[in-house]
């Protein structure tokens, strides 16, 4: 019994330490300058340096993720990306899954009628750099600064956190909810 108590105590402490370390990493990311240069599925390179004055949404995705499929099936991502594009926002889905392929993502794109670009980060370098660990995990960036990071939406209420953050930025306001927990 005593051993079980010690084991449980250690497990909780280790879990708390990992969560704290992750929180610290996210705080560092919020103030960091984020740059990237990634290829889309057609091989075209997209560089953050070429989009200096634009708002950029990076939405981590995975074609097989059970949290991603419903939001694509219900066209939530596609509609949000299209609406944001009309406002001058650059929206990219990013795949950091090492076992995914361009062919697999093209099939995903066609199957879900995705019009926005999907970027390849198969080595996971950008994902690791900014702390994308789940799908969907979204980042709203302007002038290289992360202004929002977290879930695509609130699965209970349906509120789209990404759209809300972008609308606030476009209105010249500070993002009211700069961080939520990604749920994928």
Strand, helix or coil for residue 47: strand
Q: Is the peptide bond before 104 cis (omega within 30 degrees of 0)?
A: no
> Are the beta carbons of 104 and 64 closer than 8 angstroms?
no
Integer CA distances (angstroms), 65 to 109, 121, 159, in order: 14, 16, 21
Going across the sheet that includes 45-47, the strands are: 45-47, 37-40, 117-120, 90-95, 55-60, 137-142, 145-150
Using one digit for the tens of pLDDT, what is the confidence trace for 78-114?
999 999 999 999 999 999 999 999 999 999 999 999 9
Q: Could you tell me which CATH number the domain at 33-170 has? A: 3.40.30.10
**How much is the average pLDDT of 12-28?**
43
What pLDDT score does 33 carry? Answer: 83
What pLDDT score does 126 carry? Answer: 96
Residue 29 reports pLDDT greater than 70: no
Q: Which residues pair with residue 6 across a beta bridge? A: none
Using one digit for the tens of pLDDT, what is the confidence trace for 41-59?
999 999 999 998 899 999 9
What pLDDT score does 12 carry? Answer: 39
Lowest mean pLDDT among 25-29, 97-101, 164-168: 25-29
Residue 18 reports pLDDT greater than 90: no
Give the domain ranges of the chain. Answer: 1-31, 33-170
Confidence band for 20, pLDDT divided at 50, 70 and 90: very low
């Amino acid at each position: 019994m005593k051993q079980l108590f010690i084991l449980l105590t250690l497990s909780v402490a280790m879990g708390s330490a990992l969560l704290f370390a992750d929180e610290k990493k996210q705080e560092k990311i919020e103030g960091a300058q984020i740059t990237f240069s990634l290829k889309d599925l057609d091989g075209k390179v997209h560089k953050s340096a070429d989009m200096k004055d634009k708002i950029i949404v990076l939405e981590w995705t995975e074609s097989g993720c059970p949290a991603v499929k419903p939001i694509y099936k219900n066209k939530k991502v596609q509609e949000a990306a299209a609406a944001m594009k009309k406002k001058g926002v650059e929206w990219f889905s990013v795949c950091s899954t090492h076992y995914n392929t361009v062919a697999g993502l093209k099939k995903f794109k066609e199957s879900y009628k995705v019009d926005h670009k999907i970027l390849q980060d198969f080595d996971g370098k950008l994902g690791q750099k900014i702390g994308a660990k789940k799908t969907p995990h979204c980042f709203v960036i302007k002038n290289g600064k992360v202004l929002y990071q977290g879930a695509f939406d609130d699965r209970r209420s349906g509120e789209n956190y990404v759209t809300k953050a972008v609308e606030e930025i476009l209105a010249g306001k500070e993002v009211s909810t700069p961080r939520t927990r990604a749920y994928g």
